[in-house]
Every structure is written in C-alpha cells, then in structure tokens.
C-alpha cells in the first residue's frame, strides 16, 4: 500500500506502508523505495492516498490538485488558514466524491473516548466549570531547527497558537458540541521574535446537549514546563484529564479513581491511516469529524475578531457538503 506525503513522516513505515511517493527534493528515511515527484505530475495510478502535512497556507491549492486527481487525502491539522478556505477544501473533495479526513487525532485516543462517555453518562452531574489548557516552549518543539523558520512561527504559513494548537479547541468541540459565543484575546509577548500570537485565552459558550456549558481555553508557546490538560468541575465529581500522562482522575467527596491508558499519539495517527486504507474500524464519523474541523476554524476566526474588538462575538457556523 503506497502513500504520498508532502513532508517526511518516518514512522509511517511501521504502519503497513511499503512505498512512498514524496513531493519534494529529499528522500524520506526508513523506506526501501523513495520516488520523488512534483504534485502536478502525481496521478491516481501512482498512489493509493495522500497524507498532506504541508503548511495551512497551501491547503486550497493542494486540495484542488488532489481532488481533481481523485486522491483520498488526510490533511494534517488545521484544515486551512480560516473557515472560508476550509469550506472550499472540503467542498472540492465533496464535488468529486473523494474521501477526505482532517488529522485531529486526539479524538481517536482512549482517554478522549472515556471523557466523552463519562460526560454523556451524566455520572458527573451538571458541569459547573470546565477548562482546557495546553502550552509548551516553542524553541523546544524541534530542537534541531531554528524555531523561527518553522510553520509555527510564521503568520504567512498559518502559524501561531490558534492554528498550531487547535487540536485542543477541536477536542473540546468533540466533548461539548459547537461553540455559540467566544470572548477571547490573543497576545504576542515579544519573547520569541516571531510575527504570530504566542498565547491566547478565551471563554467559550458551548451548545451542549444538556444545556450551555462555559469553558475556558488557554494556549501558549511560552511554558517552559509542558502542560496539556482538561479539567471539569461538576455537581457530583471532578474530572482531570492529563493528556501528557495519558490518564484521567475522577474525584468525589468520598473517593478518587485514576484511569491510565496504554495507547500513544502514534496509535491515534495509525487509526486514521488504517481507516483511510480501508482496513480500520471506521469507528469515527468522518462527516461529523470534518464538520467539527471546519467549526474549529469558525471558532478561531471568531476568537481573532473578539481579540480585535475587545468584546464577545457570536460564532459563525460555516457549513459544507462534507
């Protein structure tokens, strides 16, 4: 089974992918066969599907080329630079009837499923307060590269915490539904010498099934000690999901239970790839997932507007045929 990558992902060799056609100038380590090609010369006969890990700024152009060639595609997050571009990407694939996924892989983790099921079971009771937080010092992300040259640090490529850390916005949407309103701010501290926001904070009103839920979300490139967690304080018990430790703690006045999970982030990507290859469980609804990936961009667009205006903003719901 072949795959086409727009940037190297060495570990794909362990997931049943025997051959790679790479759009680029350098071979990918870990494969016996590496064929270099240009995107405009790529055809359905060359590959089975595409894993597009390029910058968000290239997505519309790539989507047009890939959908016209009938190539099923997984796009690394985010889907695009903004919601209008994201809708166009999905509509291009819908027009041709070609499968497409967005790589918000945290939804495929065991811990996410546990938290979502715990919320839907009402075992926590009414949610009184919820918070999502993620942060890591940007220069530590890729220690062998100048961080200022990466996508994360450049506005023209789709960098900044809102897009680069949008995994955590997306899984919150997966837990509580679409966002109705946002009041947020974005900041550039000047500490990193980059032209994008290096931190963002916001308060969000989610349209949860049992009623509106207020969730605070904090994202940053500045924390020297990495953190990634979700905290829920509820009527009957509190829940704390530590994404770095891959564990969930549920605490009440009478007991505390720690749940540890064995899957890795690589496993979650593997599940996405297996589904694209037609050998996975197909347990996730790609239509719902793609709609939520697009709504993630709706939320980010509204977050930017709220930061500029200094007030709360209703979130537009961009729709797509996918």
Q: Give the other-Cβ count within 10 Å of 43's Cβ.
A: 11
Backbone conformation region of residue 32, classed left if phi is above 0, alpha if psi is from -120 to 50, else beta: alpha
Radius of gyration of the chain measured on its C-alpha atoms: 20
Beta bridge partners of 185: 201
The strand ranges marked E within the chain are 2-5, 19-23, 34-37, 50-52, 73-75, 100-102, 127-135, 179-187, 199-208, 211-220, 227-234, 238-242, 247-251, 256-260, 313-314
Q: Are residues 142 and 81 in the same domain?
A: no
Asked if 150 and 170 touch (Cβ cutoff 8 Å), the reply is no
Residue-level pLDDT at 75: 92
Is 32 in the same domain as 94? yes
Asked if residue 322 belongs to a domain, the reply is: no
Domain span at residue 168?
107-262+282-314
Residues 143 and 286 in one domain: yes
> Which residue among 41, 72, 105 closes a domain?
105
Q: Is the model's pLDDT at 322 over the cut of 50?
A: no
In a domain, 270, yes or no: no
CATH code, domain with 307: 3.30.360.10
Query: What's the confidence (pLDDT) of residue 11?
Result: 54
Same domain, 154 and 288: yes
Residue 3 has pLDDT above 80, yes or no: no
**Edge-to-edge strand list for the sheet holding 313-314:** 256-260, 247-251, 238-242, 227-234, 127-135, 211-220, 199-208, 179-187, 313-314
25 and 149 fall within a common domain: no
Alpha-carbon gap, residue 261 to 167, rounded angstroms: 19
Of the residues 70, 105, 140, which one is the last residue of a structural domain?
A: 105
Assign residue 50 a region: left if phi > 0, alpha if psi is -120 to 50, beta otherwise?
Answer: beta
- Residue 169 domain flag: yes
Within a domain: 271: no
Does residue 291 have a cis peptide bond before it, meaning omega lies within 30 degrees of 0? no
pLDDT above 90 for 122: no
Tell me what pLDDT residue 266 has. 84
pLDDT attached to residue 26:
46
* Residue 274 included in any domain: no
pLDDT at 32 over 80: no
Mean pLDDT along residues 201-208 = 96
- Do 50 and 3 form a contact (C-beta atoms < 8 A)? yes
Contact criterion met (CB below 8 Å) for 51 and 37: no
Mark whether 189 and 172 lie in a shared domain. yes
Check whether residue 149 and residue 64 sit in a common domain. Answer: no
Residue 112 has pLDDT above 90, yes or no: yes
Whether residues 159 and 223 share a domain: the answer is yes
Please, are residues 111 and 246 in contact by the beta-carbon 8 Å criterion?
yes
Give residue-wise pLDDT tens across range 235-280.
Answer: 999 999 999 999 999 999 999 999 999 999 888 888 888 877 775 4
Burial class (CB in 10 A: 0-12, 13-18, 19+), 164: buried
Tell which of 81, 105, 129 closes a domain: 105
154 shares a domain with 191 = yes
* Same domain, yes or no: 63 and 87: yes
185 has pLDDT over 90: yes
Is 75 domain-assigned? yes
Is the domain of 171 the same as that of 300? yes
Contact 263, 270 (CB under 8 A): no
For residue 293, pLDDT beyond 50: yes
102, two tokens:
């967005």
User: Would you place residue 48 in the very low, low, confident or very high pLDDT band (cuts 50, 70, 90)?
Assistant: confident
Task: Give a yes or no: residue 53 inside a domain.
Answer: yes
What SS3 state is found at 243? coil
What is the model's pLDDT at position 38?
56
Domain count, the chain: 2
Q: Which residue has the higher pLDDT, 52 or 130?
A: 130
Question: What angle (nearest 5°) sits at the alpha carbon of residue 87, between those of residues 86 and 88?
Answer: 90
User: Using an 8 Å Cβ cutoff, are 220 and 228 in contact?
Assistant: no
Report the SS3 class of residue 91: helix
Query: What are the residues whose beta carbons fall under 8 Å from the beta carbon of 200, sequence distance 6 or more?
Result: 161, 162, 184, 185, 186, 187, 217, 218, 219, 220, 303, 307
CATH number at residue 68: 3.40.50.720
Q: Does some domain include residue 17?
A: yes
User: Which DSSP string do the residues of 30-81 spell out, in sequence order?
Assistant: T-S-EEEE-GGG--TTT-S-EEE-S-GGGHHHHHHHHHHTT--EEEPSSSSS
Same domain, 158 and 295: yes
Per the structure block, which two tokens stand in for 26? 């350098």
- CA-to-CA distance for 162 and 169, rounded, in angstroms? 9
The average pLDDT across 126-136 equals 96
Among the residue ranges 7-21, 57-71, 113-127, 161-175, the one predicted with the least confidence is 7-21
Q: Which among 221, 209, 97 has a CA at the least distance from the CA of 160?
A: 221
């Amino acid at each position: 089974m072949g795959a086409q990558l727009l940037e190297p992902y060495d570990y794909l060799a362990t997931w049943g992918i025997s051959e790679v056609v790479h759009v680029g100038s350098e071979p990918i380590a870990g494969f016996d066969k590496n064929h270099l090609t240009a995107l405009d010369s790529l055809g359905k006969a060359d590959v089975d599907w595409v894993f597009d890990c390029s910058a968000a700024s290239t997505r519309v152009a790539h989507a047009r080329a890939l959908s016209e060639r009938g190539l099923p595609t997984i796009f690394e997050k985010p889907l695009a630079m903004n919601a209008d571009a994201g809708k166009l990407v999905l509509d291009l694939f819908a027009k041709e009837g070609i499968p497409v996924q967005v790589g918000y892989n945290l939804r495929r983790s065991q811990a996410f499923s546990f938290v979502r099921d715990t919320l839907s079971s009402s075992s926590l009771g009414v949610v009184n307060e919820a918070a999502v937080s993620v942060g890591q010092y940007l220069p530590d992300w890729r220690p062998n590269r100048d961080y200022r040259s990466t996508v994360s640090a450049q506005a023209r490529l789709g960098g900044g915490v809102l897009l680069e850390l949008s995994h955590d916005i997306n899984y919150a949407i997966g837990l509580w539904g679409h966002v109705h309103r946002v009041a947020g701010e974005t900041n550039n501290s000047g500490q990193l010498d980059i032209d994008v926001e290096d931190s963002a904070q916001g308060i969000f009103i989610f349209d949860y099934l049992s009623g509106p839920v207020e969730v605070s979300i904090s994202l940053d490139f500045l924390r020297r000690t990495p953190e990634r967690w979700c905290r829920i304080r509820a009527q009957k018990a509190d829940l704390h999901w530590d994404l770095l430790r891959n564990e969930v703690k549920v605490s009440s006045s009478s007991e505390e239970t720690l749940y540890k999970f064995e899957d890795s982030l690589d496993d979650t990507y593997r599940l996405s790839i297996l589904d694209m290859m037609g050998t996975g469980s197909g347990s996730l609804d790609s239509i719902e997932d793609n709609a939520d990936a697009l709504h993630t961009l709706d939320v980010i667009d509204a977050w930017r507007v709220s930061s500029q205006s200094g007030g709360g903003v209703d979130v537009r719901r961009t729709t797509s045929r996918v």
